[in-house]
Amino acid sequence: MNGKKKTVNVSELSSVTVRFAGDSGDGIQLVGSQFANATAVAGNDLSTLPDYPAEIRAPAGSLAGVSGFQISFGDDSVMTPGNKPNVLVAMNPAALAVNLKSLDKGSVIIANSDAFAQASLEKAGYKTNPLEDGTLANYRVIAVPANALTENALKDSGLLKPQVLKCKNFYMLGILFWMYGLPLGPTKERIDAKFGKTPALAAANFKALEAGYDYAETTELFDARFQTRKSAVAPGKYRNLTGNEAAAYALITAAKLLKKKLFYGSYPITPASEILHTLSKHRANDVVVFQAEDEIAAMCATVGAAFAGELAATGTSGPGLSLKIEAIGLGVITELPMVIVNVQRGGPSTGLPTKTEQSDLLQAIYGRHGESPLAVLAASSPADCFTTTLEAARLAVKYMTPVIVLSNSYLSNGSEPFRIPKLSELPKFDLPPLPAPEAFKPYQRDPVTLARPWAWPGLKGYEHRIGGLEKAEGTGAISYDPENHQKMTDIRAAKIAGIAREIPPTRVTGPEAGELLVLGWGSTYGAIAEAMGEARKAGLTVSSAHIRNLWPLPPDLGGILKGFRKVLLPEENSGQLRLLLRSEYLVEPLGLNKVQGQPLNSDEILAKIREVLGK
């Protein structure tokens, strides 16, 4: 430095996208989540996309073993984890090889140069070192010998060398903290909490974080810092939540509003297991968590808990939903309230267990034997997993029915700031009073909702028969009468169809009729919203709408669709909602379909909008 003060350019950005990438053992998800929390504390809006291999520990240095964590942060224009990273932090050659195709020219690559040894280069398919051979001439490359620098920073820590080298991820994180002016304090608190049982590791990781920050501050390699615009947020208390955490807290909230215990029966399955893990931490809060031996047992136990009079819920992913199907049918015929969260992933079979899709829609709506209707809702963002799951619980209790909530890997593992609602902002959970015991019939109907009474064991005078055989209308006695079966089938269908009365008017952004409507559901919400913003900037006349209720569909949707010459439907499947709309409304939407284990991004949707409009 020669005693001269370092000159640094500071630029303001509306948003920026960063991707961390390396081996699963490099702690990529850990530092990604720490960075996300730090940006949230700094007042940024954010959206994240964890992306990790299916293998628990893939071969070190292999292309298949690369783990990634992408985050976009800045002002309230941030609605997705970003299309392409502005900055890639590559912990090894494989991380660079896998992610280089996602970078635009001029992007920043911060690489751990110590990992670019010959053996690692060969595993990643490189014959020569790309940091030295001119391959990356069109990028801003910053080579950081993170292994050596971390070892030097922690030489007095008393840790063994393998333990020291595990801290290199926090060294690289410190560099990013300096680049974007993020405070170290909140992360120290989280490190202490994460490594509370091993104080020496906590101290080492934070020291590595500080050392990386100081390295960026003093070295000539880093000549620019960035400030991101803060998000204008409503006053309140915020938490950075994943979609799975949001769903778990929604179930707890619903049980509290009902003044009941929450029963959650589940079998661990990627990517839904975090709901089980989150709820298991709240067992002292009237939460009963049952980890079953398989998906069938989990679903049957959930039906039993609903019969027992508590708020019952279960969670799974696509293959698990298949196994739950028969017992879900039992929930339909017994007309008991329960919430089933399906965190969709790439299929079929084990498929792509850590990647995202929207391919379980038709299974959720139709995938049961017999005439077996139930309600299906889809969350649109990690925070919306709270609102949608809470609404599912309300509908389940009001209409005495199982309700399926569709999330997916992108939403469940992604995170964003969530404003904790006030009690006055929560929906009302009204349990209709039971009739007098002498007037009670287990299948008598509410005249509006067609729901039967929720009478549970132990209530004197309300004893009744229950099970999977068809029931006689009113009395609930077992009935094989053909006309009664027709009547009960029609009633169950009419009850679910009546939920449409609860659906608010569909909001159309842009002209309410015209040339093109972009219709979305579930996790495509953010990408569609960003694409619409860019389309309006470009002077394109296009409208959009997003639906939460997939069954029954919004009652005004058919009229809205027919008000546009063309309807574009982006989906992360091969066209499942498109098929449903065609059969329901005799319209022919245009599909934008992606089944690659990765979410649709706004660039892809904007390009399709331009194509459809001939622009």
Cis peptide before 552 (omega within 30 of 0): yes
31, exposed or middle or buried, with CB in 10 Å at 0-12, 13-18, 19+? buried
The tens digit of pLDDT for each residue in 440-473 reads 999 999 999 999 999 999 899 999 989 999 999 9
Q: Does a structural domain hold residue 456?
A: yes
CATH number, domain of 361, equals 3.40.50.970
Query: What is d(CA 195, CA 437) in angstroms, rounded to the nearest whole number?
Result: 57
The tens digit of pLDDT for each residue in 393-410 reads 999 999 999 999 999 999
* DSSP H or E stretch at residue 377: strand 375-378
- The answer to whether residues 27 and 165 belong to one domain is yes
**Vertex 507: Cα angle to 417 and 610 (nearest 5):** 90
Res. 172 pLDDT band, cuts 50 70 90: very high
Q: Does a structural domain hold residue 431?
A: no
Q: Does a structural domain hold residue 1?
A: no
- The answer to whether residues 35 and 151 belong to one domain is yes
Query: What is d(CA 51, CA 71) in angstroms, rounded to the nearest whole number?
Result: 11
Q: Does a structural domain hold residue 233?
A: no
What pLDDT score does 2 carry?
Answer: 45
- The answer to whether residues 261 and 134 belong to one domain is no
C-alpha distances out from residue 118 to 58, 154, 220, 332, Å: 20, 26, 27, 61
Query: What is d(CA 604, CA 470) in angstroms, rounded to the nearest whole number?
Result: 49
- Report the percentage of the chain scoring pLDDT > 70: 99
What number is the average pLDDT over the span 198-216?
95
- The answer to whether residues 516 and 414 belong to one domain is no
Q: Does a structural domain hold residue 596?
A: yes
- Report the percentage of the chain scoring pLDDT > 90: 87
CATH number, domain of 557, equals 3.40.50.920
pLDDT above 80 (res 3): no
The tens digit of pLDDT for each residue in 32-78 reads 999 999 999 888 889 999 998 887 777 888 999 999 999 999 987 88
Mean pLDDT, the chain, integer: 94
Q: Does a structural domain hold residue 380?
A: yes
Dihedral angle computed from the Cα positions of residues 344, 55, 274 and 19, in that order, rounded to the nearest 10 degrees: -80
What pLDDT score does 230 carry?
Answer: 77
Backbone angles phi and psi of 3, in degrees to 5:
75, 0
The tens digit of pLDDT for each residue in 499-522 reads 999 999 999 999 999 999 999 999
What pLDDT score does 81 carry?
Answer: 93
pLDDT above 60 (res 298): yes
| Total domains in the fold of the chain | 4
Query: What is d(CA 141, CA 103) in angstroms, rounded to the nearest whole number?
Result: 12
Q: Is the dihedral of CA 445, 303, 342, 382 positive or negative?
A: positive
- The answer to whether residues 138 and 181 belong to one domain is yes
Number of neighbouring beta carbons within 10 Å of residue 540: 17
The tens digit of pLDDT for each residue in 251-264 reads 999 999 999 999 99
Strand 508-509, strand 311-316: pairing: unpaired
Q: Is residue 124 helix, strand or coil?
A: coil
- The answer to whether residues 402 and 486 belong to one domain is no
- The answer to whether residues 139 and 200 belong to one domain is yes
- The answer to whether residues 109 and 220 belong to one domain is yes
Q: What is the DSSP letter of 21?
A: E
Query: What is d(CA 309, CA 312) in angstroms, rounded to the nearest whole number?
Result: 8
Last residue of a domain, one of 461, 486, 502: 502
pLDDT above 50 (res 105): yes
Which domain covers residue 495, as residue numbers? 437-502
- The answer to whether residues 16 and 87 belong to one domain is yes
Query: What is d(CA 615, CA 407) in angstroms, rounded to the nearest whole number?
Result: 34
* DSSP H or E stretch at residue 429: none
C-alpha distances out from residue 140 to 89, 103, 223, Å: 12, 11, 12
Last residue of a domain, one of 204, 228, 252: 228
434, exposed or middle or buried, with CB in 10 Å at 0-12, 13-18, 19+? middle
Higher per-residue confidence, 389 vs 236: 389
**pTM for the model:** 0.93
Q: Does a structural domain hold residue 302?
A: yes
CATH number, domain of 129, equals 3.40.920.10
Cis peptide before 271 (omega within 30 of 0): yes
Q: Does a structural domain hold residue 123?
A: yes
The two tokens of residue 195 are: 């490594």
Last residue of a domain, one of 479, 502, 525: 502
Supply the angle between the helices 295-307 and 318-334 in degrees, to the nearest 10.
30
- The answer to whether residues 170 and 39 belong to one domain is yes
Name residue 531's beta-bridge partners. Answer: none
- The answer to whether residues 195 and 301 belong to one domain is no
What pLDDT score does 6 carry?
Answer: 62
What number is the average pLDDT over the span 543-559?
98
Query: What is d(CA 174, CA 360) in angstroms, rounded to the nearest whole number?
Result: 41
The tens digit of pLDDT for each residue in 413-445 reads 999 999 999 999 999 998 878 999 999 999 999
C-alpha distances out from residue 560 to 350, 530, 551, 585, Å: 38, 22, 17, 11
- The answer to whether residues 513 and 497 belong to one domain is no
Q: What is the largest CA-CA distance in the chain?
A: 95
Q: What is the DSSP letter of 583?
A: H
